[in-house]
């Protein structure tokens, strides 16, 4: 049961990332499109990386997730502009890749912890 709870956030972020890709790909409008897009942009890129810190303070995690998400998006955008390769689609692909990397790292950490606990207990 604990494994499911620990994997809940990685699954939410992965599903939200997929939903954002669908929204951007098919140009879904209100009311669903903006809600999904804002949730993805504000929270999803940073949350898996913040959860790796194991802060155990939900409000602190969310605030840091928002700050890190916006920072990652700004760095990606600035990097593309400075490289002369600005493209909204390319920016989305890079941010999705960063998000999936974070989900993979967080899920891996959860699985390793649960294997250790299973050996000990």
Into how many domains does the chain fold? 1
Alpha-carbon gap, residue 17 to 84, rounded angstroms: 26
Give the domain range for residue 19. Answer: 2-120
Give yes or no for residue 37 having a pLDDT over 90: yes
Query: By percentage, how much of the chain surpasses pLDDT 70?
Result: 98
* Mean per-residue pLDDT, 17-41: 92
DSSP assignment, residue 34? Answer: H
* Mean per-residue pLDDT, 27-54: 94
The answer to whether the peptide bond before residue 45 is cis (omega within 30 degrees of 0) is no
Alpha-carbon gap, residue 58 to 94, rounded angstroms: 27
Could you report the per-residue pLDDT of 62-83, keeping only the tens digit for each?
999 999 999 999 999 999 999 9
| Total-model pTM | 0.91
């Amino acid at each position: 049961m604990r494994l499911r709870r620990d994997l809940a956030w990685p699954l939410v972020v992965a599903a939200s990332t997929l939903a954002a890709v669908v929204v951007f790909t098919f140009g879904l409008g209100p009311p669903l499109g903006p809600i999904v897009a804002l949730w993805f942009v504000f929270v999803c890129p940073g949350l898996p990386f913040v959860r790796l810190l194991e802060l155990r303070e939900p409000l602190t995690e969310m605030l840091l997730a928002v700050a890190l998400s916006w920072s990652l998006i700004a760095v990606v955008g600035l990097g593309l502009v400075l490289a002369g390769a600005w493209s909204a689609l390319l920016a989305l692909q890079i941010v999705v890749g960063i998000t999936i990397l974070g989900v993979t790292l967080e899920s891996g950490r959860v699985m390793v912890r649960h294997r250790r606990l299973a050996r000990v207990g």
